[in-house]
Structure 1
Amino acid sequence: MASKTFVAPLIRQVTTRSYAQAATASKKEARVSSSILPSKTFVAALDNGSPVTRVTVAFRAGSRYEPATELGISHVLRSAAGLTTKNANSFILARKLAQIGATVSASGDREFVYYTLEASQDNLQPALELLNNVVSNQEFRPWELDDNLPRLKFDIAALSPQVRAVDLLHKAAYRRNLGNSLFISPKRIGKVSSESLQHFATANLALNRCAVVVVGESQDKANLVAQALQLSGSGAETQESSTYFGGELRKEMGGDLAHVALAVQGAPAGSPQALALAVAAKALGCGPVTKWGADNSPLAKAVGNIGPFAAAGFNVSYSDNGLFGVVLTVPKDEANCAVKAVAGVLRNPTLSGPAIQAGKNALKLQVLGEADEGTSLAESIAAQGFYTGSVKTPAEIASTIDQLSSNDIAQALSNAGKAKLSMGAAGNLAFVPYVDEL
């Protein structure tokens, strides 16, 4: 029987409905501004009138920058966010954040690590002091790193087979730097020392490798946040360029399903080709658009009627490279024909006009939808700053998507289709063909 505990009382319903007209909601035009400080820190602000302010401090400290002898250290760095600092232990940090209703989270990808604060306008200043403490004064005490090992083990255990396949795909495609895994190997859990972590943080969490983004406040506030950071002025300057090799890696995990990520070389972030491939990935299809509905995407039509399966196009772009491909989950007995069909789509990609328009609409929905997610928007702006040195609002990005022509997308697909295939596969791989058989 359904509980009525949370049903609104009748008097409240009557009172609510008695208003003749709702108050007009105030709407503030979102304006983005950016600059580069003398310390080489990129600073940007998007003042959209939000009552909640998001502040992201990002660094070029992703897995691609890990030394060959310290693979997985970026994952440990993300996981260690919020541990004891020079000025406060982890309990005090957590307690003070709870008292002012703020949160601090750490995330990352292959290029960047993000520390993001969410706080109300009224409590922004004390929250910024705590964020500065978390980012600038980390100590990585050995006993706390030991206590943090179960969290790392949980991160690994919680990975889906599709994520594992995409991770293997990067390793097969790039071997090093961009090929480094986002996650620490289970065999290396507990092997990263406090000294190694401190050295990695000192070399990469520096002002010249930093971007500060504030969503919901002014550019002046963003400048003050950046200037208050107590970080080294100069970190590592060199960056090894990535090379696309192509190849395959497979991880036999058993089960009834095969999870395969197939891709060709894409385009670097900030280039028109990258945006065109992002549209093409959406145009290929991302599964049914209605629950329990049929998948009528070009990708699903290419795979054919082989029983239950899932297939989605994807495009990832980095500072100097990219991947364009498909993630496929299919029953193990149907893997051979399904993988070959997907490989055929990537080698000879052709999209109709309606499919391209559908891809544009889907990508615009994603971009504009992320604008409502303050954390995602702040991290996206930070990545734009690193990649291009400038920032576009979600509305401007949507307008750029509309301006892409079918010829632009066809040309980008044609160039991508000439590249060597790469594959990462996990699950039951008994009937998954090898790359040289595609």
Structure 2
Amino acid sequence: MLRILPRTVQLPLLSRSFSYESVSLSHVIPLPPILATPSTPPPSEITVSRLKNGITIASNSCYSPISQLSIAIRAGSRYQDEDNLGVAHFLLHNAFLTNSDRTGFRVTRELERIGATLNSELTRDLLVSTSSFTSGYAESVLENLSAVYNGPEFRRWEVSKDRVLLDLDRLHIHFDSLADDVMHKLAYRIGLGMPIYTPECRAALISSEDMQKYYSSRVNADNTFVIGSGIEHKELSRLVEELFVPPVKQVSGVDIPRYFGKGESHIRLYGEDTQAVLTAEGVSIGHDDLPKYIVLQHLLGVENVIKRGSMSCTRLGKCATQVNGAAMSAVNINHSDTGLFGLVARAPGNQIKKLVKAGLSACREVAKNGVSSTELIASKNRAKSAVLSQYDDLETLHNTLMLQVAMTGAVSSGREISDRIEKVSSEDVQNVARKITIAKPNLVVTGNLVDPPYLDELI
């Protein structure tokens, strides 16, 4: 992440002399007039539209002193192939270099002067550039972001591999990131199975020409989405139409992912703890059954939302309390056209097998006997709280808006999703659990392999 901090301005020291006059205690001192109460700003409104140049934009016209703008391109790691494997990771760390309109130094200085921040993100579906800034500077920010979008040059002497190599050095101490790449490889092989992180054998082979070729192959109007928070939709439309020049061309589509399953991988890492991830095929971010999976996820258990709280109120939490130093939760990964659902467990190496088996038994118990009305209501309440919390904070709402628009082309309000969750029945949860437990799973175990679980021992 490249963060640009505003300059500090030193104001001259002001001096003022005062004179005092004695006043009788019986003297009535007039009070200053009461200021008129400021009018309440109109409620925020989320609007999505497609412009004449083909770009889809979305705006949240909230009246916040801080605005955010994001450019999302469908150029994530899933669109790589074996010839350019790792190039998306390089684009992530070389996002704001010299382009055909201005130098990278000019982009940095102009955004620095208005106190803006820059951030780039990479997912399997999207490559995203985001800027946060004081409201009122949207035009200046979009001038710089559009220049980066319209004509990046990736000059050989500017492209840096240092941050990519640093990520690879840190990868082996980050259980979650390493397991996620391996899990997707087992589940999909190609497409979504392509790693987000550059393989070590490819790090020295990626060139600026590879980056330019990959970027050009993915960028067009249909694959570009501009999302703004704290900016009027009319103003955002005008700026995007004036500043953005998307290439008029067709880009190759992505193959419909094929789920394989029944794959496993064991990766030995230093340490005493072991992490195991067991998943089966789930649903996409726009699927009609997504609320059912969300309720099942909160029924089984997610991370604690109460500080120092107990996990014993969920099915997987009860399993984790039986093992010292253990933690377990349900995982629900949603892509644009498919997903993964399962559980992730962490425990000392000699206890991980016991923990995974207990978690799998808890899932099978839901599939066999269903859930009580009391447990279902509690799970739906936790699910609705988690969903609505994504619409409460400005930054979280902006990220939610960006993902929905870029991956589905539409936006669902928190109230709409909450209403769909409320309609989920115990039969729906049981059917989803049954579907998960009979599906072909994948298993990834990382860490201490003193006594790891194996797939043939679980199914």
Normalising by structure 1, report the TM-score.
0.88
Query: Gaps (5+ residues) in structure 2?
Result: 1-33
Distance 2:419 2:386 in 1: 13
1:106 counterpart (103, 117, 120): 120
Q: Does the CA-based 8 Å contact 2:320-2:327 persist in structure 1? A: no
1:134-213 paired onto structure 2 within 5 Å: 134-145=148-159, 148-159=160-171, 160-213=174-227
Counterpart for residue 283 of structure 1: 299
Q: Secondary structure at the match of 2:137?
A: helix
Q: Secondary structure at the match of 2:398?
A: helix
Q: Could you report, residue by residue, the CA deviation over 1:357-397 in whole angstroms, capped at 9, with x for unpaired residues?
A: 33333333333333344344333223322443321223333
Distance 1:79 1:353 in 2: 49
Q: Secondary structure at the match of 2:125?
A: coil
Report the more deviating stretch, 369-378 or 256-265: 369-378
1:312 counterpart (329, 335, 345): 329
Q: Could you report, residue by residue, the CA deviation over 1:111-168 in whole angstroms, capped at 9, with x for unpaired residues?
A: 11111122222222111111111222211111222xx222112223334212222222
Report the more deviating stretch, 256-265 or 203-212: 203-212
Counterpart for residue 5 of structure 1: none
Counterpart for residue 413 of structure 2: 393
1:298 counterpart (273, 291, 315): 315
Q: Could you report, residue by residue, the CA deviation over 1:326-350 in whole angstroms, capped at 9, with x for unpaired residues?
A: 1111100101111222233344534
Query: Gaps (5+ residues) in structure 1?
Result: 1-19
Counterpart for residue 245 of structure 1: 260
Report the more deviating stretch, 178-187 or 26-35: 26-35
Q: Does the CA-based 8 Å contact 1:171-1:179 persist in structure 2? A: yes
Counterpart for residue 437 of structure 2: 417
Higher normalized contact order (CA 8 Å, seq sep 6+, divided by chain length): 1
Q: Secondary structure at the match of 1:398?
A: helix
Counterpart for residue 88 of structure 1: 102
Counterpart for residue 347 of structure 2: 330
Residue 354 (structure 1) shift = 3.6
Q: Could you report, residue by residue, the CA deviation over 1:244-270 in whole angstroms, capped at 9, with x for unpaired residues?
A: 111112211131011111111111221
Distance 1:348 1:222 in 2: 51
Q: Secondary structure at the match of 1:91?
A: helix
Distance 2:395 2:292 in 1: 25
Counterpart for residue 270 of structure 2: 254
Structure-2 change in CA distance of 1:431 and 1:27 (3 Å) = farther
2:49 counterpart (14, 25, 35): 35
Q: Secondary structure at the match of 1:262?
A: strand
Q: Secondary structure at the match of 2:277?
A: strand
After TM superposition, what 4+ stretches of structure 1 lie above 6 angstroms from structure 2?
20-25
AA paired with 2:425?
S
Q: Secondary structure at the match of 2:71?
A: strand
Q: Could you report, residue by residue, the CA deviation over 1:387-426 in whole angstroms, capped at 9, with x for unpaired residues?
A: 4332122333333323333333332222222211111221
Q: Could you report, residue by residue, the CA deviation over 1:265-298 in whole angstroms, capped at 9, with x for unpaired residues?
A: 1112211212211221122112444444432121
Q: Does the CA-based 8 Å contact 1:265-1:324 persist in structure 2? A: yes
AA paired with 1:325?
G
Report the more deviating stretch, 352-361 or 308-317: 352-361
Structure-2 change in CA distance of 1:183 and 1:220 (3 Å) = same
Q: Secondary structure at the match of 2:201?
A: helix
Q: Does the CA-based 8 Å contact 2:45-2:62 persist in structure 1? A: yes
Distance 2:249 2:364 in 1: 44
Counterpart for residue 142 of structure 2: 128
CA RMSD of aligned residues (A): 2.4
Distance 1:80 1:416 in 2: 40
Structure-2 change in CA distance of 1:347 and 1:75 (3 Å) = farther
Q: Does the CA-based 8 Å contact 2:191-2:254 persist in structure 1? A: no
Counterpart for residue 31 of structure 2: none
Residue 174 (structure 1) shift = 1.2
Q: Aligned residues, how many?
A: 418
Residue 196 (structure 1) shift = 1.0
Structure having the higher Rg: 2
Q: Does the CA-based 8 Å contact 1:55-1:117 persist in structure 2? A: yes
Counterpart for residue 69 of structure 2: 55
Q: Does the CA-based 8 Å contact 1:72-1:182 persist in structure 2? A: yes
Normalising by structure 2, report the TM-score.
0.84
- Identity fraction in percent: 28
Distance 1:118 1:372 in 2: 17
2:281 counterpart (253, 262, 265): 265
Q: Does the CA-based 8 Å contact 2:315-2:362 persist in structure 1? A: no
Q: Does the CA-based 8 Å contact 1:171-1:180 persist in structure 2? A: yes
Greater per-residue helix proportion: 1
Distance 2:249 2:343 in 1: 39
Q: Secondary structure at the match of 1:184?
A: coil
Distance 1:326 1:111 in 2: 22
AA paired with 1:137?
G
Q: Does the CA-based 8 Å contact 2:186-2:264 persist in structure 1? A: yes
Q: Does the CA-based 8 Å contact 2:311-2:321 persist in structure 1? A: no
Residue 234 (structure 1) shift = 2.3
Q: Secondary structure at the match of 2:351?
A: helix
Q: Secondary structure at the match of 1:320?
A: coil
AA paired with 2:115?
G
AA paired with 1:419?
A
Counterpart for residue 72 of structure 1: 86
Q: Secondary structure at the match of 2:344?
A: strand
Q: Does the CA-based 8 Å contact 2:81-2:194 persist in structure 1? A: no
Distance 1:289 1:318 in 2: 25
